[in-house]
Each structure stands twice: as C-alpha cells, then as structure tokens.
Amino acid sequence: MATLDRYRDLENQIASAESKGLRARWEFGKELMKERRPKQLPKGRVAEIEQATGVARREIQRRMQFAEKFSTEEALARLIQDHLDWADVRESLPAPVPGPEEVISPDLTEDWIRARKELLELHQSLQAKIDRAKKKPGVEEDPDLDPELVEAVEHLLKVIEEDVHLYWEAMTKSSQEDEDGER
C-alpha cells in the first residue's frame, strides 16, 4: 500500500508542470490500482487519500481510469508525444461514479422520498387495474385491458418495486454508515 506521503509527493508533481503532470497523474492512478481488492479500493481509502492530498474523489477516480485506459508506459509515452493535456485526457474518460456524499444530499433525499411515494401510488393504481383485468372476485371487469399486456405490466411492476426497495435499502444503509463514520 502506498503511503499518504507518496500521494502528496505525486500531487506536488502534478501542480508543478503539466508535462510532468500527466505522468504523475498516471503514476497516482497506478498506485491506486495496486491497492484495489479485487476491483475496489478498501473502504475509506479514497476519503483518506482525499484528505491527505486535497484531491477530490472524482479526480482520484479519473486518475485510476486514466491509468487503466493507458495501462502501459508505451501508451503513456504516445499520449505525451501527442501533446495532449490533462483536460484532453479527462474528456476521453467515462464520467466518474459519484460517491455517497454526492448522491445522498438532503435535497436529493427529499426528491427521492417524494418520487418513491409517487411510484408506490402508481403501483397501487396499476395493480387495481390489473386486478380488474384478471377478473378477481369483487372487482369489476375491464374489457379494454389485453391479458398479455396486463401480465407484462404486472411483471414490470414487480421488478420496479424490487429495485425501489433495494435502492432504498442501499441509500439508507449508506447514510447510516456515513453517520456512524462521523461519530
């Protein structure tokens, strides 16, 4: 595992000159890749590096992506020879995955709770229509609904409901872990 001093040194190299900066960012990413188990850094490691270096989480992710995309010295040398700068490289990388603190903001949480409520209300409404189409006892029949379409919608509702619950559990678990970590 690389030391925090190593990451600080690499960050200083990046700040000193763009030509050396590409190599330093690449080395930074390579060091991070060595720490992944199997495809992820150990829990809390990005936050630790972020605090030690002042480099944002997204930038840390981009550096790992950079080292992954240009995995050899030869690929890096060609990149430098083509006089590309860090802005060019960043544009060629996929958008980094936001961390939990970027996803679970109070505004987003309120929006998510509202959207979840609306989705559950829609689910109940559609389920009532499905019940009518299936001619359940005590429910008035609706001749306009196609039984195959009803079956497809019912399956879709089940999948959406499961996904909503899984996402909700993940969000609340992540929020709880963040709160526990701050204590």
Q: Who has greater pLDDT, 133 or 128?
A: 128
Q: Who has greater pLDDT, 140 or 156?
A: 156
User: At 182, is the pLDDT very low, low, confident or very high (cuts 50, 70, 90)?
Assistant: very low
Gap between the Cα atoms of 101 and 112, Å rounded: 15
Secondary structure of 70-99 in the HEC alphabet?
CCCHHHHHHHHHCCCCHHHHHHHCCCCCCC
* Per-residue pLDDT at 129 exceeds 80: no
pTM: 0.48
Average pLDDT over residues 90-102: 67
pLDDT more than 90, % of the chain? 13
Average pLDDT over residues 86-114: 66
The answer to whether 79 and 70 have CB atoms below 8 angstroms apart is yes
Q: Each residue of 41-87: pLDDT tens digit?
A: 888 898 899 999 999 888 998 999 999 988 999 988 888 777 677 88
